[in-house]
Amino acid sequence: GAENAYRRINQMAATATGDALVILCDDDKLADTFIEKTSNEILRGADVVSTGNQTFGERSGTYSPTAWSLDAFKAYNPTSISALVRKSCWVDWDENMQYADYDFYWTLFENRCRNVILPEPLFLYRIHSKQGTKVIDAAAHAAATAAVFAKHKV
């Protein structure tokens, strides 16, 4: 389940030797220039670099993350899972949290990590019918979101 995936993310992050990390699900892709463009922002002082998303699969389109603010986090997770994160800013993913990526980026926001947004769609996100919030019912979604809000005292 998701908890095992989050445990693997934490294990890989703990053993990573680079200065920055990116999480990439096995059915998603990064544009050829993702590493170059996002790592340049890390070198300029960013802690987290989010990029625009290009969806593909069952539906196509583009999405751009929004600037971090408390209001943005109260509305939804404003950062895609595949942002480049400075290792010194990294925190373990909460393995018990269904929306661990939402919690992760909210924690980085609370820790005052500096987020830079590159609007260019450098993260390629596959849309399919058996993923995340598409297969979760409304009550489970509300409970998962409430757990994130409770952890962050909202």
pLDDT of the residue at 127: 83
pLDDT confidence tier of residue 1, bands split at 50, 70 and 90: low
**Nearest-5° Cα angle at 102, 45 to 55:** 85
State the CB neighbour count (10 A cutoff) for residue 137: 9
Mean pLDDT for 64-77 is 94
DSSP state of 76: S
pTM: 0.90
Q: What is the mean pLDDT of residues 64-87?
A: 93
Looking at the DSSP assignment, which residues form a beta bridge with residue 20?
86
Position 133 pLDDT exceeds 80? no
Q: Is the pLDDT of residue 139 over 60?
A: yes
Could you give the 3-state DSSP secondary structure of residue 51? strand
Are 9 and 21 in contact, with CB atoms under 8 Å apart? no
